[in-house]
Structure 1
Amino acid sequence: MRLVVLGGGGFRVPLVYGALLTDRGEGRVDEVVLYDTDPARSAAIARVLADQAAADPAAAPRVRVATDLDAALHGADFVFSAIRVGGLAGRAADERVALAEGVLGQETVGAGGIAYGLRTLPVVDHIARRVAAVAPDAWFINFTNPAGLVTEAMSRHLGDRVIGICDSPVGLGRRVARVLGVDPGSAEVDYVGLNHLGWLRGLRVDGRDVLPDLFASTALLEGFEEGRLFGADWLRSLGCVPNEYLHYYYFNRETVRAYREAALTRGAFLHRQQDRFYARVGDPAVPALTTWNAVRAEREATYMAENREAAGAGERDEASLTASGGYEEVALALMRAIARDERTTLVLNVRNRAALPGLDADAVIETPCRVDAAGAHPIPADPLPGHALGLVTTVKAVEREVIAAADGASRARAVKAFALHPLVDSVSVARRLVAGYTEVHPGLGYLR
């Protein structure tokens, strides 16, 4: 099988390739095509993949670098997308503009997520059209952020053949299972919402929901990352465990203050770190995989540092830093289920159909799905409680305003998207955000 990776020069591509190296089954991926608009980055990542393959070169998928999109897509069985329009410099600019207005600039949540979406949607719309024309039988696995928004926009061209993935729900489920002493592989999660806006409502083992055991013990509640991040009292009040990204909503003032006081925003930190990485790995004398591993360890240790500081949650625990099974494992399980009919259940971003009451059939949600050779089928979910449904429907309305703004090149719709978001507190601020983002991102000049 041929896997095409869009954003093939991205830093986390070796995670995907590493997962592929563990697959020895029939019909496994035997060719990986890296496509990136920056050939130097693709070449650097290809060096890392070559080091990974060195342990067993005969069994490792072949790697090819492509510089033409249509040529890369030709003959694809699966397309994996992790592009970043505007690069990390764009992410850092998103943060600066938002924080100057006193609102959150995180890349998937609030003003930063809207800005990222506005410059990403025209690009992914073109990609979706080319996939439909050049590789209509390919399955498209989307990891490009904002993942739910991008997946919904692409589904208009690719239908149910585009599926969004994220590592947050699986990571949350595993952390809760571990603190309860449960084998994560045997636990069935009741999780639903939007990407980066969902709640773990149950964890069933042999048909019994063990999540009440968590809420009965303060020690257990404070024994994993989300428990320390949100606090035992708040989790008990909710009666569920929120995705870590909901910290931006529930503790917005504290998080914005921590971001404003940080020496570097997350985007600025990663921009500086990865510029150094690609410059180093461009030197053939530098050991590519060793360098990548060291940079990845630093990256993981500093993940959501501002949120942990705002909550007084301390450093990330060792289990979270060393655990495998992130989005790359979700991607591999998804491909195996479709290509080989190895039926499984995964939390994915798919069109709702009729799974979650309160949202229409075309709304992309994040929810457990049964996956087989015919694709991903969302499992019917119990309704969300009022507070959660209100937040989900509001953010979904914002996502659709972002799509409408991109489709119509409409500055007015862009202002509306910002103004309607729960984390942007003024229409005047929304207008200044659009002006500020248009100034720092020339590509947003399409908004009229």
Structure 2
Amino acid sequence: MRLTILGGGGFRVPLVYGALLRDRAEGRVTRVTLYDVDAGRLTAVARVLAEQSSGVADAPEVRVTTDLDEALRGADFVFSAIRVGGLEGRAADERVALVQGVLGQETVGAGGIAYGLRTVPVALDIARRVAALAPDAWVINFTNPAGLVTEAMSRILGDRVIGICDSPVGLGRRVARALGVDPAKAWFDYVGLNHLGWLRGLWVGGRDELPRLLADPGMLGSIEEGRLFGADWLRSLGAIPNEYLHYYYFNRETVRAYTDAERTRGAYLRDQQAGFYAELSGTDGAAGSALDAWHRTLAEREATYMAANRDAAGVGERDAEDLESGGYEKVALALMRAVARDEHATLILNVRNRTTLSVLDADAVVEVPCLVDANGAHPVTVDPLPSHAVGLVTAVKAVEREVLAAAESGSRASAVKAFALHPLVDSVSVARRLLDGYTEVHPGLAYLRR
């Protein structure tokens, strides 16, 4: 089986390759093609992968290319993890938003809209190349904003594009661990959009164990979401929100923490990863040096994840057990196995809604439990959302639709509307200033002219 990774020079590619190395089952991936527009990053990541596979029998062959068409031909699966504008773009997204007093996070609020506006046109071009050169391939999308980009690509690829995210996986794992439950034996009633979802139940043997967690403040305090949101608020909701909902529920505090921080998250990662790639380009190739540098950088990255939110909540450093990677590479491997080998699996994925959530149309991409087999991912029927969740989900989906309209038509009016409709942007005037600020710093938004 052949896998192509778009964004193959990305920092988290070794996580995916590590999962492939551990897969010894029949029909496993035998060749990985890394595609990136940055040849230097490709070379650096290829070094890390070579050290990962040292001494591993029958390790998947690794090829690198800066030619998209070459990367796509012959692919059975295409893993999309691109970052249009790089981490400098992410840092600019945060900076422009904070000038206007609003959130600039890469997938939430103004920053997510700016990122989507410059990413969707590129994602659509990729989808067209996949349709032309690898029409039988399945696309697994991790490119952020993951739900929005998956929905854009689905307009060309239909159900052959599936979005994944590690946030629901990490949330489910933490809740199961607190309850003393094996995550592999639990059913997670999780529903929403990407980075906008709620865990409403954790079922084991016909019994929902989540109320036991919600009723125990000490147990709630043992998980990161309990510390971020507070036990009282979680009991009020009757659910555990995805950690990204902290940006909504505690927006004022988070914006203040971002404003007061020495560096935003994007600026921190920009500087950290620049150091990592510079280190690999300057080392002498000694055995283990590239892999050691990657492990060290990964540990620092995980330790500082959502640091501004923890500062806003006053909860301090992450617990050691929360430093484990969310596991998106495991989700990707399980998804590929289920489709390629017809190994039925239940995974929380980003797929077209069909009739899953009655408040959204059939083509809206949602994040829900899915049954996966050789024919793809099939969303499971879920209970309706409560009214407070309906309000957020429908508002953010309307924003995503305006981003898609702007990307497809080049309409500035649609782009302004996307900013103005978002729950975390409080004025049409602010929306206009945001678009002006973003078009000034992002040449990739020059297409917004009408």
TM-score by length of 1: 0.99
2:293 alignment partner, SS class:
helix
2:372 alignment partner, SS class:
strand
8 Å contact kept, 1:191–1:367: yes
- Residue 322 of structure 2 corresponds to 320
1:269 alignment partner, SS class:
helix
- Residue 71 of structure 1 corresponds to 70
| 1:282-301 correspondence to structure 2 within 5 Å | 282-285=281-284, 287-301=289-303
Total equivalences in the alignment: 446
CA distance in 1, matches of 2:256, 2:377: 40
- Once the two structures are TM-superposed, the CA of residue 216 in structure 1 deviates from its matched residue by 1.3
- Residue 279 of structure 1 corresponds to 278
1:203 alignment partner, SS class:
strand
- Residue 399 of structure 1 corresponds to 400
Matched residue type, 2:21: L
Matched residue type, 1:20: L
**1:304 and 2:306 equivalent?**
yes
- Residue 15 of structure 1 corresponds to 15
- Once the two structures are TM-superposed, the CA of residue 337 in structure 1 deviates from its matched residue by 0.3
2:29 alignment partner, SS class:
coil
2:282 alignment partner, SS class:
coil
CA distance in 2, matches of 1:187, 1:355: 21
- Residue 165 of structure 1 corresponds to 164
Cα 1:302–1:325, aligned 2, differ >3 Å: closer, same or farther? closer
8 Å contact kept, 1:357–1:382: no
- Residue 239 of structure 1 corresponds to 238
8 Å contact kept, 1:82–1:144: yes
| 1:408-427 correspondence to structure 2 within 5 Å | 408-427=409-428
Q: Deviations over 1:174-218 (max 9, x none)?
A: 100001111111111000000000000000011110001001111
Matched residue type, 2:8: G
| 1:215-364 correspondence to structure 2 within 5 Å | 215-285=214-284, 287-322=289-324, 326-364=327-365
CA distance in 2, matches of 1:15, 1:41: 16
| 1:36-55 correspondence to structure 2 within 5 Å | 36-55=36-55
- Residue 29 of structure 1 corresponds to 29
8 Å contact kept, 2:344–2:373: yes
- Residue 174 of structure 1 corresponds to 173
CA distance in 1, matches of 2:272, 2:38: 17
- Once the two structures are TM-superposed, the CA of residue 55 in structure 1 deviates from its matched residue by 3.1
Structure 1 stretch 345-354 or stretch 278-287: which is displaced more?
Answer: 278-287
1:282 alignment partner, SS class:
helix
1:400 alignment partner, SS class:
helix
CA distance in 2, matches of 1:216, 1:112: 36
Matched residue type, 1:309: D
Runs of at least 4 residues off by over 3 Å: none
- Once the two structures are TM-superposed, the CA of residue 316 in structure 1 deviates from its matched residue by 0.7
Q: Deviations over 1:50-106 (max 9, x none)?
A: 0000031x3210000012111110000000010000000000000000000000000
CA distance in 1, matches of 2:435, 2:217: 44
- Once the two structures are TM-superposed, the CA of residue 313 in structure 1 deviates from its matched residue by 1.6
CA distance in 2, matches of 1:219, 1:285: 51
Q: Deviations over 1:10-57 (max 9, x none)?
A: 00000000000110011100000000000110110000000000031x
- Residue 154 of structure 2 corresponds to 155
1:236 alignment partner, SS class:
helix
Matched residue type, 1:394: A
CA distance in 2, matches of 1:284, 1:226: 40
CA distance in 2, matches of 1:388, 1:70: 42
CA distance in 2, matches of 1:215, 1:257: 29
CA distance in 2, matches of 1:344, 1:367: 13
8 Å contact kept, 1:343–1:371: yes
8 Å contact kept, 1:103–1:424: yes
CA distance in 2, matches of 1:59, 1:189: 36
Q: In structure 2, list runs of 5 or more residues that go unmatched.
A: none
- Residue 434 of structure 1 corresponds to 435
- Once the two structures are TM-superposed, the CA of residue 285 in structure 1 deviates from its matched residue by 1.7
- Residue 82 of structure 2 corresponds to 83
- Residue 96 of structure 1 corresponds to 95
8 Å contact kept, 2:167–2:326: no
2:423 alignment partner, SS class:
coil
Q: Percent identity?
A: 76
- Residue 377 of structure 1 corresponds to 378
- Once the two structures are TM-superposed, the CA of residue 284 in structure 1 deviates from its matched residue by 4.4
- Once the two structures are TM-superposed, the CA of residue 413 in structure 1 deviates from its matched residue by 0.6
CA distance in 2, matches of 1:381, 1:188: 12
Q: Deviations over 1:304-347 (max 9, x none)?
A: 0000010012211111113x561000000000000001101000
- Residue 107 of structure 2 corresponds to 108
CA distance in 2, matches of 1:379, 1:167: 19
| 1:121-132 correspondence to structure 2 within 5 Å | 121-132=120-131
CA distance in 1, matches of 2:351, 2:392: 19
Aligned-residue RMSD, C-alpha: 0.7
CA distance in 2, matches of 1:285, 1:234: 53
- Residue 199 of structure 1 corresponds to 198
CA distance in 1, matches of 2:206, 2:293: 45
CA distance in 1, matches of 2:326, 2:435: 38
TM-score by length of 2: 0.98
CA distance in 2, matches of 1:91, 1:222: 32
Matched residue type, 1:290: D
CA distance in 1, matches of 2:274, 2:389: 39
